[in-house]
Structure 1
Amino acid sequence: MECAGMWIISIITYYTLTLSVKYIIFKKMKLNPTPSYNYKHGRELSIFLSPDLWFATRFKNAIKYDCAEPTDINLADFVKKNNTYNLALSLCLALIAFFSFDILNHEIVFNFAYSIVAIRFISRSGEIGYAFYRDAIQSTKSFTNLDKYDRIKLALKSYVEIYIYSAPVYLLLPNMDTIKAITLSLNVGSLTNVGMAFPEDTSAVNLTVFIQVFTTLCLVILSLASYISRPNTNE
């Protein structure tokens, strides 16, 4: 029961945190007139696996359908800010998790921090993977005003972020500490030594590294190759 309660509190906390970050980004854009916040359908199922994707979709739809200003410019601004804010948030959460593990050494605090970073690991991977996959395969004109250089910058920031938010998740693996977790994330993210996650005392939780592997492959192979091949024009 205590474990279930911890996860429920962590889920509520993470959803609230994600909504707050997206809302801050949205308010900083100072759109005029302010969108009506009428609900627009799309990607409803993502609310269960990726609140980051779900909330991003809600605010993008508000910009796309409820704003009088140029839609592509506003969407591009939201995407860039969302990318930067998420990188900063992932770094903050990772530092908190490492701090609670190494310095506080308090079981309840660490379990709460770990639950948050674990949810982030799945949620943010879903948002990154889906966004770059969609962008790579789309055949129609993009709604954003991003050229190929903007897209490369976004991809590189997301690539760094994957390393950051994956590292604290690996603290739960057997015989793991902060340095080993960071090293494992670097090895898995660069695809140079995924086998490092599978020592002799492997457990099912070791399979979590493949979330980082698949997200990285989706970003690097599908997205960067596509962006480099695009003409230097706004899309």
Structure 2
Amino acid sequence: MSLDFTVVPAFLGTIAIGGLWTIVITLLSAAISLAGGIGFALILLYGHPLIRLPVRFVVFLFMGTPLLLQLFMIYYGLSQLGVNLPAFWTGVAGLGLHYAVYNADIIKATIRNVDVGQSEAARTLGFGRIATLRYFVVPQALLNAVPQLGNNMIILLKDSALLSVLGITELVLASQLAISRTFRPFEFYITAAAFYYVINLAMEFALRWVAAKTEEIR
């Protein structure tokens, strides 16, 4: 059977909506992964042992198991315990937590690389430990971590396709819906790949802009 891309235009609206939801999922999950990464990093570096141990277990669990399994565990496991979350928010939270543990590793390393003199100078100015971390150490660590965090965000974009297994109508599931109507899988998967490529290029451009701005700040 030859390729026939004439069937694609009729479903471009459906695929574009899927692409928009992919962007929304990526941004929300990236925000969770960044906030969670900062929180995990600070707990692992400065938290009380009783708090560090559960966080270390969570990090070990999320690093040592596949993302797809984690999504199933959160979605079906929580519902079995009586916690019924919408599939969309379950997917966003699962994706965000998965990348939060990887971001935590990056942020931990960049925090350790912040010059100790910065903390000492803040203390001499009267800042407490929490204020020193908030206003001096963490912001500098995040500036240094921009390239690595940006790479994780691009990988997160690609992994958002796994949320289709939960019935979330992102780019892949939108393409599958079109395929179920036309029985033309290759044409629509190529179209989906083109959408991912465009989104990826836009993200890379935005991340390069952010990286350039952070260099100016430094």
TM-score (norm 1): 0.29
TM-score (norm 2): 0.30
Structure showing the higher helix proportion among its residues: 2
Query: Which one has more relative contact order, counting CA pairs under 8 Å at least 6 apart?
Result: 2
